[in-house]
Structure 1
Amino acid sequence: MFLILLLFVQGPVRITVSVPTVEGEGTLKGQTLEIMIHTLSESISLVKEKIANEIALPANKQKLSGRAGFLKDNLSLAYYNISPGETLLLGLRERGGRKR
């Protein structure tokens, strides 16, 4: 099925990103973003850069998840079998600090 999807999807793809509401982060107001992707072989890190351009949240502070769970930066949308129109969830990456 993975190969079939890549054969039928050519050209730009629209991916929806659901942004959480976070107090103290002025640009995170629970909105939904539509990100245009040139091809499903683009890496997750490139998708995060496009999100950063939209909401001014640095890519290294973003955490994306989908049906497959959390998405790793070095892998592609095609690796996770993300289809056009699918909604990804954006979260904040927390670094440091103590585990609770």
Structure 2
Amino acid sequence: MSGRGASHDDLASAGFGIGGVKKGSVAADMQSNADIVREGKGLVSGLQSSGARGEGITGDDIARSTTDNPGFGRDGVGKNSFGSQTMNEMDKSGAVDQLKASLPSIGVRK
């Protein structure tokens, strides 16, 4: 595995579930931010897909370009990026620690 992964339960706690993106969740915020800043759509869709299938994610599931573009790169989380916005939303929620640790970890190790 390239970077720390996140289980299906981790994705579901962020709002990426079998029934789709949960209203008012971190996942919904990520989806909205991706539409606004035009970054991170590939990452969000990958997380949505895994959550809908009832699976987790690993670095093997995410392409390098999918993490670099939104700010989860080899040098860490990019300042003022989709990635930094996502990390801030996860901090506010307090319920997605494993996913919060996974995204930068996967990006750095790809």
Fold-level match, TM-score > 0.5?
no
Structure whose residues are more often helix by fraction: 2
Q: TM-score, normalised by structure 2?
A: 0.28
Q: Pick the structure with greater CA Rg.
A: 1
Q: TM-score, normalised by structure 1?
A: 0.30
